[in-house]
Amino acid sequence: MSAIPSNVGRAPTLLVNQIQLANIQRSSLGLFEAQSQLATGRSILRPSDDPVSTAAIAQLDDSIQRSSQRLRNIDQADANLALIETSLAEANDLLLSAKEVASTQVNIGSSAEERENQAAVINSLIDGLFTQMNRKSVDNYLFGGSRTSTPPFETFGAGFVYTGEFDKLTTDINLGRSVPTTLVGIESLSSQLNKVEGDVDLSPTITPETLLKDLRSAHGLGVTKGPIQMQFENGPIVQIDLTTADTVEDVITRVDSAIRQYETTNGVTILGPGGVGLSAEGFSIDVVPGTPPAADPQLTFLELGAGTTARDLGLTTNTGTSFEATQADGQNLDPKLTMSSTVASLAGLGGTLDEFVINNGGRRAQIDLSGAQTIEDVKNAIEAADIGARLVINAQGTGIDIVNLVSAEPDQAMTIEEVPGGARTAELLGIRSLKASTRTDTFNDGRGVTVLDGRTDPQTGLADPTLDIDFAITLGDGSSFNVNLRPQDVVTTGDVIARINAEAAGQGIPPASFQAGLGDGANGIEFTQDAGFANPIEIEKRNNSSAMNDLGLSDATYDAASATLAGVDPAPVVSDTVFTRLIQLREALTGNDTTGITFAGTKLEGVVDSVAQTRGLVGSYSKRLETARVREEDVNVMEQSFRSELRDLDFAEASTRLTQLQTQLQAGLQSMSIANQLSLLDFLG
């Protein structure tokens, strides 16, 4: 029996039932999806629902996740900086108290007992500062630089040593910018890192292991990696890709391979037995000579487009030079000194390394470099001595400096000297603390050398050169001469020595009888006389000049065996930190030394200003974090809004759709029920 539904002109009952069932299933599925959307709050339940929106949501999810991590980083960094600022504020209060002590105890009315009591106060301030500088957050020490697992300051004899690193931990605040979350403690407590600055350009030669990033290049601007071109005579031009080359050896290998392939492809001979190699500071290519009377063939390297790689590597110049039999060497690439530079490659070394001595903080260490193969080995040997000194490569990448990490009394400051009879290793490396190039304004903890100059006779008012004499030297044979040091004579140690020798020669003392210089061993200016003289050398102050004392000659000792009067080192490298100045003030108070109290107080003012500047820097970091947080939160809200528009459900629309689907399903079920009711006609039919 057949029925005639409204949407089908004439159809079997089975077909009608299938159509109605499909409609019910479609409504049920829609109802299920609407219910799932309402339950999850999401408009997209699976990627196939909307592939384009799903891809956009995935990108937004990743961006929001990274943004949330940056916000957590900012919160952590802000907490660290808040603790750092608190520590610096408390340290500043301690230092202001110390300044007040220094300013009050220089008064005439203060007694030795009062000053000794105030020394105990300063000692407690030192302990408080030590605690603040070793402060930590939840799990990181705040003033250790990138080394955060151990306290950055430790006791070292009667002083303190910095054991942290010079690099800071930083946090990402997006757009390629970062903010430090830790500080370098020794920099926070000083105006600058005091060090022995190497005065020798070690001039490392280029080696196959030299990294391209460590080459200053032929024009001093570094190496940009990229493809270059090569041509032999007027033959075809080929390309050599150096984009992924990292070392000098990579360049040699690829250039050599390209030339060999060129020879095979074009049936020519380019390379002689030397092949592609290195000269002292650049590339070398052995190009075969021509057969006379023909000219020597030329191998030319060219830039590709606007590239600079060939010029950077010294393979060509702006004028387009070529390699040929009589011109095998490329341009000088001026490699930088690095920790991996080998000792054997240091053209500026000028000798073999053996031993030298470092004195620091009351300790003495003899450093043996006879087995050092690289600059890293030299650094490790110094650090292994546990002497509170650290090797760093200077900013120019030409030599090494030795940083003093120990804060102690200036009398126990760092000196670097030779081992008597040795190879003068410290001078070879340029790190002897007292050398000819040492400036005298660094003597005596920065007080320099004061000389008499331009003094006049009080009665006549005329210039009297005899009043400018600083000291007199008497030799063992009874002869003597005066030394008048002028301002131009006390610029460097070498200038002082040259002037003393010139004064001796100008007053009739032959070089064989007297010679001033620097000793082979302990630092200090030395006077050597003829070994045949019976008496020791004597030196005497003139006109109440302080020059003799400033040059370390007041405490000089005479050695009869070598006929030498040796002065003490006037230029130890004092670590100009807050700890040093507080210790200096404490010792001056203990010794009832008003001059020392005044000098320590003056020096303390400088380092207090440094702490204040560090606080200002921390404040700028915090402000930068605040700005970054606002920007990050705005971006995060915007991205979440975009994601919500793509992913989240419109509950009003979904509720309406759910009601419609429920009504639709109910109607479908009712219509199917009505359509499938049996009557008497069904049986009669």
CA dist., res. 142 & res. 60, Å (int): 35
pLDDT(1) > 50: no
Cβ neighbours of residue 103 closer than 8 Å, sequence gap 6 or more: 601
Lowest-confidence region among 30-34, 83-87, 197-201, 251-255: 30-34
Per-residue pLDDT at 681: 57
Owner of token pair 């001056």: 588
pLDDT(44) > 80: no
Per-residue pLDDT at 21: 76
Residue 557, SS3 per DSSP: strand
pLDDT grade, residue 37 (50/70/90)? Answer: low
Most confident of 56-70, 288-302, 374-388, 589-603: 374-388
User: Residue 347's CB: how many other CB atoms inside 10 A?
Assistant: 13
What does pTM read for this prediction? 0.82
- Residues 560-588: tens digit of each pLDDT: 999 999 999 999 999 999 999 999 999 99
Instruction: State mean pLDDT over 411-415.
Output: 93
Q: How far is CA 94 from CA 81, 349, 408, 644, in A?
A: 20, 47, 18, 54
CA dist., res. 527 & res. 524, Å (int): 10
Per-residue pLDDT at 12: 67
Contact 600/581 with Cβ under 8 angstroms?
Answer: yes
Per-residue pLDDT at 390: 95
Per-residue pLDDT at 24: 73
- Residues 428-460: tens digit of each pLDDT: 999 999 999 999 999 999 899 999 998 988 888
Helical H segments across 204-338, by residue range? 248-266, 309-312
CA dist., res. 654 & res. 566, Å (int): 97
Q: How far is CA 548 from CA 45, 469, 485, 511, 536, in A?
A: 90, 11, 10, 22, 17
Residues written for the chain: 685
CA dist., res. 527 & res. 517, Å (int): 7
pLDDT(301) > 90: yes
| Averaged pLDDT of the chain | 88
Instruction: State mean pLDDT over 163-173.
Output: 88
- CATH 1.20.1330.10 is held by the domain 61-192+579-634: yes
Instruction: State mean pLDDT over 324-337.
Output: 91
- Residues 622-637: tens digit of each pLDDT: 998 898 888 888 888 8
pLDDT grade, residue 463 (50/70/90)? Answer: confident
Per-residue pLDDT at 2: 45
Of 237 and 38, the structure prediction assigns the larger pLDDT to 237
With pLDDT > 90 as the criterion, what percentage of the chain qualifies?
56
Per-residue pLDDT at 500: 96
Per-residue pLDDT at 662: 77
Residue 346 structure tokens: 């240091």
pLDDT(119) > 70: yes
CA dist., res. 205 & res. 394, Å (int): 17
pLDDT grade, residue 680 (50/70/90)? Answer: low
Residue boundaries of the structural domains of the chain = 1-41+649-685, 61-192+579-634, 212-312, 343-433, 465-566
pLDDT(528) > 70: yes
Report phi then psi at 478, rounded to 5.
95, -15
Contact 240/228 with Cβ under 8 angstroms?
Answer: yes
Per-residue pLDDT at 519: 85
Of 48 and 330, the structure prediction assigns the larger pLDDT to 330
pLDDT(19) > 90: no
Cβ neighbours of residue 205 closer than 8 Å, sequence gap 6 or more: 280, 281, 335, 345, 346, 347
Of 421 and 49, the structure prediction assigns the larger pLDDT to 421
Residue 322, SS3 per DSSP: coil
Lowest-confidence region among 237-246, 535-544, 649-658: 649-658
Residue 133 structure tokens: 């500088």
pLDDT(494) > 70: yes
Burial class (CB in 10 A: 0-12, 13-18, 19+), 558: middle
